[in-house]
Amino acid sequence: MHRGASSSRRSTSTFISEKEFAGHYAAAAFAAWHRLYCETAVTILWGALGASDGPSAQEFFSDFLKHLNAWLHERHLPTVYFFSHENCTRVGLHTHLAVYLGLQPCTRSAQRDEFRRWVMKWPERNGYGSCPRAIRVTGPAKRTPWLHWHRFHYQVKGYDPRAVVRQAYNSPSGTDVMLGDLIAWPWQDPGMVTMMPRLGSCLNLGPARREIGIPKDCDELRNPPRPKRPVVPREMCLEEQLQSLRLPQAPRPPFISRYDDGWRDVRWLYPREFNTRVTKLSYLPEPSRRPPPPEEFRLEMELI
């Protein structure tokens, strides 16, 4: 898609490696596979909140995630988000976060507006003062799946421009496939980032949950908590007794992303709606190329 970088890039910049890209892609793909689209974006400028360095920003971010996890849990939403840290000369150290809010496909979701109010008031509630320019929240009012991948590409725009993801001798085109060829957003220098991990996601999208095959609390939608009642033991009927003796269901297969499965074609790595909207890729079949007609020849038999 895009490759190359400015010759004036800083040697101390914390570029996204191929391995980090693969992990971030797996987390985003895992969420998308279960239709947990992270369409809502949060940008936090740590300097505007008073964080003077990386360790301070790391502490503030951990505090923010703790409250975000609680907010999602209280509203019976699965904890699903992924993020990226950057450090540019214009705004300094900052974080991009994409979060799942369970937006509805046809009607405006009230949770989106509630979330924005909650985030914008977060600094004041937690003793950082009124910082209206420190946080920005953007996102659709209705479910917009392709924005999930738009957030992903924006977060990985600080990739290593020298990273090769497929060698020329293994490529159909006969040229190296660069990491930048798989990323739609133009390259930008991410600056020196000390916050760790450089890219990350909630535990619900991490390797342990991908090994299980499904994020936590996603087997079925969470139900509102019910008041606890004293448990009264009762006898089970014959059908219930037989059901309890049945073998447990087979576990779900682990989730393996298309990138980890060897795909390096953007038409397979990202959904059609994103590719046609953002990268303008064409899915029209190529015109068939008829093979040249076979040469006419005669088989002459030598008589002995």
The first and second tokens of residue 209, run together, are: 């949950």
Tens-digit pLDDT profile for residues 4-30: 444 444 558 999 999 999 999 999 999
pLDDT, position 97: 98
**Which pLDDT band, with edges at 50, 70 and 90, does 253 fall under?**
very high
- Report whether pLDDT(78) > 70: yes
Summarize the confidence of residues 246-272 as an average pLDDT. Answer: 88
SS3 10: coil
**CA dist 108 to 22, 100, 102, 116, Å?**
34, 15, 11, 14
Nearest to 168 by CA among 159, 181, 158: 181
For the stretch 197-246, pLDDT in tens is 999 999 999 999 999 999 987 754 333 434 444 445 556 666 656 666 66
Using a pLDDT cut of 90, give the percent of the chain over it. Answer: 69
Q: Is the separation of the CB atoms in 289 and 45 below 8 Å?
A: no
What's the whole-model pTM score?
Answer: 0.82
> Where residue 124 falls among pLDDT bands split at 50, 70, 90?
very high
**Is the model more confident about 245 or about 42?**
42
Confidence at residue 279, expressed as pLDDT on a 0 to 100 scale: 81
Distance CA(160)–CA(144), nearest Å, equals: 29
What pLDDT score does 284 carry? 73
Distance CA(156)–CA(176), nearest Å, equals 20
Which H or E run includes 268?
helix 266-269
Q: Which of 13-22, 92-101, 246-255, 259-268 has the lowest mean pLDDT?
A: 246-255
